[in-house]
């Protein structure tokens, strides 16, 4: 674009018979001259050799001396690099003191955005124009030409389109009065100027004799052939911004304003006149037509069968809405056959049509033009699950026709409910319902209601688009279009031949005529038993309908089959007895996808039970009164009253292990050493072998290892650590594997709420484990603390057996799933599931900055979470001195609050996003920042309070983890936003890194607490018992803050470029 602009300037200068004094040759020695300009004239000031390698100077000065009445400088052809400086200055004498005043400076910040425009400097007779070029900048293609108008009434537009600001004076004391005519330059003869305004100016000005201000400025203005006359009176430079115009130079012979109304309801788009093109020796022609109407109606694009091609192959029609000037439709010859098959409605009162014809093709002499016609027809988009659109058809005495298109932006099936407001005894109306917006002789309606006196209450098209056409003498009818949901039993038989009734609501089925050779359709009712007072009504739909009614109940006998002619339409209705309406006698059948989510909820519940139980049990396992640093193998107690025999092993409730803080930290963190290793493999193995077996076997193996944990602990703590590492390995396989099954089972529009519910099992598992484990430790059951491992391990084995019996890998192979549910899942899940597998773009993923921000946010969350998870029970015992029962109860409260706040945050974010008040990225980062900074503030307050008030300590811990629950609406769902295709893989990657915090956080806590304990012993002084914990909290605050800041600055919810349609041969695949 820059090169084109530069070439235009060069040609203009060469055609100008200018005085040599107008030139500034940078290759020559410095020389400045005074230009004495005394008469009406146009002067072009040019710079040559702008980018010369042998330039002798980098500065040009023109000294202007002119006593003409008006002096206008046009800067629209000035193209400079950022460091070039262009100024206009003059000397002004004020109170016998002469000062240099700057009229214009391109580095002036306040006017920097208005670099292209008109300077009106009538009040100054002498002024200097100075250009200083950046000699180090050789890369920018500069262009320099200013146009000086002296007592010249016309200002020329030198390009076919562009923008111009007027005036752009920087003298803050100016009050400008000026009049000029804006015209196309001579090479654009026979063109009109069409204007739009960037901002509505706060000043009064005149355009072609009419006064305008911010209240009456037109959306678009088309001038006359002789230009547009501007008149500025007392324009105050200081308070007012320039008037910024966007302009187009359009061909006069085919550009006009067209107003449609009831009498003139349609008009053709005007094509370029080829004879006019030849007469003016033109190559390119641009036509502009502004369509408007005062009836509040919309436009329909009318392309007849005779219209097959535009006059020239390269012609392009672009339709813009006004006043926003956004593209709403483009038309080219190639796409005319497709556009003809679709009803195109333009839902705007005012539109702009631009017809661009770059060259002529003499082989085509005549084409039928495209028309725009006023219409009541329109299109609607249903953009949320609860969206519905109501259409009211009023009664008429003459024939009319309406067409309505409906689309689901969610890709869900649509259903139309029909309610007649009039009696249809003499109905002369026809209704056709299509499951497509394509029309033509070969497109047949799904339903055709031809002057029926009975109408079906609902028709489901089982597609994401619907077209309704209504014509004839209309009756008063109401249509309500919405998305199909599980409560809708209305359908079209061609999609759902099996009718299913429920005794608590009315249902209707429309059976369409069959054009095949089949003569009759049989309604088989031999398995139907109608509830008391209900009715089954079969109606043959025609101008004179015949009905047959079956009424219940019928016992010990079957209803007779009803034979229906295949050449007729029939309506089958199930009418509920009102007294029985609220009593559903059907057996409740859980949807199979709901069963999967419920089992997944309990699965994650158990995963966290098996992970968290040690955090409570270790309080009872360790001898806190023994300070020996080196642990023995076993520390037993021979008190027989506290001993029981299990599997020939003596289990003593008072079994205690002499494990110091470092060993306890190693034991608590050992789980994560295995958990981190299998995060990423878990996601990939699920894709290969299936999620059912990986998830189920992962929990089953972890449960078995949990049951044998007490025996491992008694052998040696290293054996116990090895057992915990194996548990982490198996849980690491299980945790990310559910993403794959989720994609196969859950429709897109249910995934948010389903995933929130299922993954909340993690928090609920933590909530349940804390108090239950505490009670078991304090009980006599199986020796106290060992029972924690036996009980939770046994629960996991029971769940595994149920999982394997009830869950199937995909809905397609489930033996008892209902057909409706299966069809709904297949129609609304990701299409990529059945498509060709793509290689992973590893290089792009690994180098993605938003992904690394996501990893850091995930790590920060896990550091704080696992610090709380593994250390909170120890803090409550060692610092607040709670007994084991209170310890378990108080340790669980924060996680309950976390689960509740997390669900609320997700619900609120969805509502705010649906209201279109906030961008999704803003909501994600806000929720994440609150989730991280909330705990930071609470921990800092906790440090100030210390252990002086246990009640406030519990409140602050609960608030900290409660606010942290908002992470579920923050970074935790960003994986799916960034990469729907590789969301499971991203979760495996970030969770792998993040769970390093599970290893290091407990270990760091152990080191800090051990060092503080050693310091206390060395100083033999009684330091505050929570000094070490304050250091632990400071570390968590720092990590929370840094993670929140990095995600805020570098995180993104935008879909990444490497996730979008990567071809199989992409060289990024490694």
| Per-residue pLDDT, 291 | 92
In terms of domains, do 773 and 845 share one? no
Alpha-carbon distance of 569 to 552, in angstroms, equals 24
Cβ neighbours around 512 below 10 Å, total: 20
Burial of 561: CB neighbours in 10 Å, binned 0-12, 13-18, 19+: exposed
Give the bridge partners for 222, in sequence order.
Answer: 194
Name the region of 123 (left: φ>0; alpha: ψ -120 to 50; beta: rest).
alpha
Q: Is 345 a member of any domain?
A: yes
Q: Is 633 a member of any domain?
A: no
Count of the separate structural domains present in the chain: 6
**For residue 93, what is the enclosing H or E element?**
strand 85-94
Alpha-carbon distance of 439 to 911, in angstroms, equals 37
Q: What are phi and psi of 156, to 5 degrees?
A: -95, 140
Q: Considering the chain, what is the average pLDDT of its residues?
A: 75
Per-residue pLDDT of 354-368, as tens digits, reads 999 888 765 555 567
> Residues 723-740: what's their mean pLDDT?
83
In terms of domains, do 818 and 890 share one? no
| Per-residue pLDDT, 643 | 34
Q: How do 23-25 and 41-48 pair as beta strands?
A: parallel
> Residues 89-118: what's their mean pLDDT?
78
Token pair for 153: 């009434």
Q: Is 473 a member of any domain?
A: yes
Find out whether 524 and 556 touch, Cβ atoms under 8 Å: no
* pLDDT of 222 above 60: yes
With H, G, I as helix, E, B as strand and everything else as coil, classify residue 677.
helix
Higher pLDDT, 633 or 426: 426
Q: Is 386 a member of any domain?
A: yes
In terms of domains, do 352 and 452 share one? no
- pTM for the complete prediction? 0.46
In terms of domains, do 795 and 843 share one? no
**Confidence band of 870 (pLDDT split at 50, 70, 90):** low
Token pair for 571: 């309506």
Find out whether 172 and 238 touch, Cβ atoms under 8 Å: yes
> Residues 978-994: what's their mean pLDDT?
76
Which of 831, 849, 868 lies at the terminal end of a domain, its last residue?
Answer: 831
Higher pLDDT, 254 or 980: 254
In terms of domains, do 603 and 555 share one? no
Residue 946 maps to which CATH number?
1.20.1250.20
The most confident of 397-406, 484-493, 631-640, 851-860, by mean pLDDT: 851-860
| Per-residue pLDDT, 639 | 31
Find out whether 757 and 597 touch, Cβ atoms under 8 Å: yes
* pLDDT of 530 above 70: no
Give the bridge partners for 268, in sequence order.
Answer: 371
Q: Is 764 a member of any domain?
A: yes
| Per-residue pLDDT, 353 | 94
With H, G, I as helix, E, B as strand and everything else as coil, classify residue 259.
strand
In terms of domains, do 959 and 847 share one? yes
In terms of domains, do 533 and 427 share one? no
Q: Is 246 a member of any domain?
A: no
Output the CA torsion sign for 912, 914, 918, 919.
Answer: positive
In terms of domains, do 575 and 594 share one? no
Q: Report the percentage of the chain scoring pLDDT > 70.
A: 75
* pLDDT of 70 above 80: yes
In terms of domains, do 555 and 462 share one? no
Alpha-carbon distance of 470 to 434, in angstroms, equals 12
Name the residue among 139, 198, 148 with its Cα closest to residue 42: 148
| Per-residue pLDDT, 514 | 65
| Per-residue pLDDT, 834 | 42
**Confidence band of 256 (pLDDT split at 50, 70, 90):** very high
* pLDDT of 627 above 50: no
* pLDDT of 644 above 50: no
Which of 311, 341, 375 lies at the terminal end of a domain, its last residue?
Answer: 375
In terms of domains, do 722 and 843 share one? no
> Residues 482-486: what's their mean pLDDT?
76
Higher pLDDT, 639 or 425: 425
Q: Is 430 a member of any domain?
A: yes
In terms of domains, do 516 and 454 share one? no
Alpha-carbon distance of 212 to 201, in angstroms, equals 9
422-426, 835-839, 909-913: segment of lowest average pLDDT: 835-839
Q: Is 204 a member of any domain?
A: no
- The three-point CA angle 480-486-489 to 5° equals 65
Residue 477 maps to which CATH number?
2.60.120.290
Q: How do 221-222 and 191-197 pair as beta strands?
A: antiparallel
**Confidence band of 228 (pLDDT split at 50, 70, 90):** very high
Name the residue among 251, 206, 1, 235 with its Cα closest to residue 118: 235
Render 566-626 in DSSP notation, one character per residue: TTSEEEEEEE--GGGTT---SPP---HHHHHHHHHHHHHHHHHHHHHHHHHHHHHHB-TT-
Which of 121, 152, 183 lies at the terminal end of a domain, its last residue?
Answer: 152
The most confident of 203-207, 797-801, 830-834, by mean pLDDT: 797-801
> Residues 540-563: what's their mean pLDDT?
52
> Residues 417-440: what's their mean pLDDT?
82
Higher pLDDT, 374 or 210: 210
> Residues 522-530: what's their mean pLDDT?
58
* pLDDT of 127 above 80: yes
| Per-residue pLDDT, 309 | 83
In terms of domains, do 667 and 540 share one? no
| Per-residue pLDDT, 531 | 60
| Per-residue pLDDT, 528 | 57
Domain with 101 in it: 2-152
* pLDDT of 538 above 60: yes
* pLDDT of 126 above 80: yes
* pLDDT of 1057 above 90: no
Per-residue pLDDT of 833-849, as tens digits, reads 444 455 677 788 888 89
Find out whether 617 and 724 touch, Cβ atoms under 8 Å: no
Enter the DSSP assignment of 1058. Answer: G
> Residues 601-614: what's their mean pLDDT?
86
* pLDDT of 509 above 80: no
Per-residue pLDDT of 919-959, as tens digits, reads 778 888 888 899 899 888 988 888 887 766 777 888 888 88
| Per-residue pLDDT, 1021 | 53
Higher pLDDT, 983 or 855: 855
Name the residue among 722, 1039, 733 with its Cα closest to residue 860: 1039
| Per-residue pLDDT, 555 | 36
Higher pLDDT, 18 or 477: 477
**Confidence band of 716 (pLDDT split at 50, 70, 90):** confident
Which residues, at least 6 apart from 1038, have a Cβ–Cβ distance to it below 8 Å? none
């Amino acid at each position: 674009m820059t090169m084109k602009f530069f070439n235009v300037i060069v040609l203009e200068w060469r055609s100008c018979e200018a005085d040599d004094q107008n030139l500034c040759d940078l290759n020559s020695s410095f020389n400045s001259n005074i230009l004495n300009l005394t008469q009406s004239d146009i002067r072009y000031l040019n710079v040559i050799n702008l980018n010369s390698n042998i330039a002798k100077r980098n500065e040009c000065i023109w000294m202007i001396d002119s006593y003409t009445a008006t002096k206008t400088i046009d800067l629209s052809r000035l193209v400079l690099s950022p460091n070039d400086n262009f100024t206009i200055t003059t000397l002004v004498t004020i109170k016998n003191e002469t000062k240099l005043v700057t009229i214009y400076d391109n580095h002036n910040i306040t006017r920097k955005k208005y670099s292209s425009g008109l300077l009106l400097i009538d009040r100054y007779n002498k002024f200097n124009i100075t250009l200083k070029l950046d000699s180090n900048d050789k890369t920018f293609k500069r262009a320099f030409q200013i146009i000086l108008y002296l007592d010249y009434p016309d200002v020329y537009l030198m390009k076919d389109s562009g923008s111009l600001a007027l005036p752009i004076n920087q003298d803050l004391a100016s009050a400008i009065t000026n009049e000029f005519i804006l015209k196309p330059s001579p090479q654009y003869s026979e063109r009109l100027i069409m204007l739009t305004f960037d901002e509505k100016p706060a000043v009064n000005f005149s355009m072609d004799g009419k006064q305008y201000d911010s209240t009456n400025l037109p959306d678009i203005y088309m001038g006359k052939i002789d230009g547009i006359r501007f008149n500025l009176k007392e324009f105050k430079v200081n308070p007012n911004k320039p008037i910024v115009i966007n302009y187009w130079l359009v061909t006069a012979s085919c550009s006009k304003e067209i107003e449609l109304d009831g009498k003139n309801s349609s008009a053709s788009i005007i094509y370029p006149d080829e004879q006019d093109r030849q007469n003016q020796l033109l190559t390119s022609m641009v036509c502009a037509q502004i369509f408007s109407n005062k009836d509040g109606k919309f436009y329909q694009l009318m392309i007849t069968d005779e219209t097959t091609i535009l006059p020239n192959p390269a012609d392009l029609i672009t339709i813009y809405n006004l006043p926003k000037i956004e593209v709403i439709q483009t038309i080219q010859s190639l796409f005319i056959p497709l556009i003809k098959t679709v009803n195109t409605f333009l839902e705007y009162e005012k539109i702009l049509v631009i017809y661009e014809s770059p060259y002529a093709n003499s082989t085509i002499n005549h084409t039928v033009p495209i028309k725009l016609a006023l219409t009541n027809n329109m299109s609607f988009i249903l953009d949320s699950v609860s969206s519905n659109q109501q259409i009211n058809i009023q009664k008429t005495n003459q024939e009319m026709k309406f067409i309505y298109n409906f689309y689901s932006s969610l890709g869900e099936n649509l259903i139309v409910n029909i309610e007649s407001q009039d009696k249809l005894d003499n109905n002369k109306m026809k209704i056709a319902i299509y499951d497509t917006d394509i029309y033509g002789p070969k497109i047949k309606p799904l339903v055709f209601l031809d002057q029926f006196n009975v109408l079906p209450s609902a028709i489901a098209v089982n597609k994401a688009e619907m077209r309704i056409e209504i014509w004839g003498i209309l009756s008063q009818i109401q249509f309500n279009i919405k998305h199909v949901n599980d409560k809708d039993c209305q359908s079209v038989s061609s999609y759902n031949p099996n009718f299913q009734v429920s005794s608590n609501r009315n249902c209707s089925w429309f059976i369409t005529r069959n054009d095949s050779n089949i003569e009759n359709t049989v309604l088989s009712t031999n398995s139907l038993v109608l509830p008391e007072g209900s009715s089954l009504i079969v109606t043959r739909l025609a101008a004179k309908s015949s009905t047959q009614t079956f009424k219940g109940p019928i016992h010990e006998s079957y209803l007779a089959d009803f034979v229906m002619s295949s050449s007729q339409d029939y309506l089958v209705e199930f009418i509920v007895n009102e007294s029985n309406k609220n009593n559903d006698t059907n057996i409740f059948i859980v949807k199979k996808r709901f069963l999967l989510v419920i089992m997944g909820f309990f699965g994650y519940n158990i995963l966290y039970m098996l992970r968290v139980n040690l955090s409570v049990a270790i309080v009872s396992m360790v001898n806190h009164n023994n300070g020996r640093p080196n642990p023995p193998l076993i520390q037993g107690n021979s008190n027989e009253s506290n001993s029981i025999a299990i599997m020939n092993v003596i289990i003593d409730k008072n079994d205690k292990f002499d494990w110091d803080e470092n060993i306890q930290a190693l034991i608590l963190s050992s789980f994560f050493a295995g958990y981190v290793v299998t995060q990423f493999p878990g996601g990939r193995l699920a894709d290969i072998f299936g999620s059912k077996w990986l998830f189920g076997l992962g929990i089953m193996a972890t449960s078995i290892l949990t049951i044998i944990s007490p025996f491992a602990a008694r052998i040696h703590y290293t054996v116990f650590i090895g057992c915990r590492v194996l548990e982490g390995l198996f849980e690491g396989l299980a945790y990310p594997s559910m993403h794959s099954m989720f994609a196969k089972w859950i429709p897109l529009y249910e995934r948010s709420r389903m995933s929130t519910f299922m993954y909340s099992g993690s928090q609920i598992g933590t909530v349940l484990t804390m108090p239950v484990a505490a009670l078991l430790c304090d009980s006599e059951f199986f020796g106290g603390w060992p029972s924690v491992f036996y009980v939770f391990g046994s629960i996991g084995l029971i769940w595994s057996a149920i999982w394997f019996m009830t869950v199937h890998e995909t809905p397609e192979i489930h033996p008892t799933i209902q057909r409706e549910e299966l069809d709904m899942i297949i129609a609304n899940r990701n299409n990529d599931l059945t498509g060709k597998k793509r290689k992973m773009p590893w290089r792009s993923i690994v180098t993605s900055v938003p992904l690394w921000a996501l990893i850091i946010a995930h790590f920060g969350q896990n550091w704080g979470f696992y610090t709380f998870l593994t250390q909170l029970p120890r803090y409550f015992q060692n610092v607040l001195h709670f007994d084991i029962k209170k310890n378990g109860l108080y340790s669980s409260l924060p996680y309950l609050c976390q689960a509740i706040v997390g669900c609320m945050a997700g619900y609120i974010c969805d509502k705010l996003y649906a209201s279109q008040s906030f961008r999704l990225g803003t909501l994600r980062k806000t929720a994440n920042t609150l989730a991280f900074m909330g705990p930071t503030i609470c921990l800092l307050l906790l440090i100030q309070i210390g252990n002086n008030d246990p009640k406030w300590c519990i409140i602050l811990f609960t608030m900290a983890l409660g606010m942290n629950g908002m992470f579920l609406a923050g970074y935790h769902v960003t994986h799916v936003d960034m990469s729907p295709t590789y969301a499971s893989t991203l979760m495996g990657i970030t969770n792998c890194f993040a769970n390093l915090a599970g290893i290091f956080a407990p270990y760091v806590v152990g080191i800090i607490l051990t060092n503080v304990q050693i310091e206390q012993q060395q100083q033999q002084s009684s330091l505050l018992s929570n000094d070490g914990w304050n250091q632990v909290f400071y570390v968590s605050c720092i990590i929370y803050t840094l993670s929140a800041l990095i995600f805020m600055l570098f995180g993104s919810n935008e879909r990444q470029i490497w996730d979008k349609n990567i071809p199989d041969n992409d060289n990024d695949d490694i």
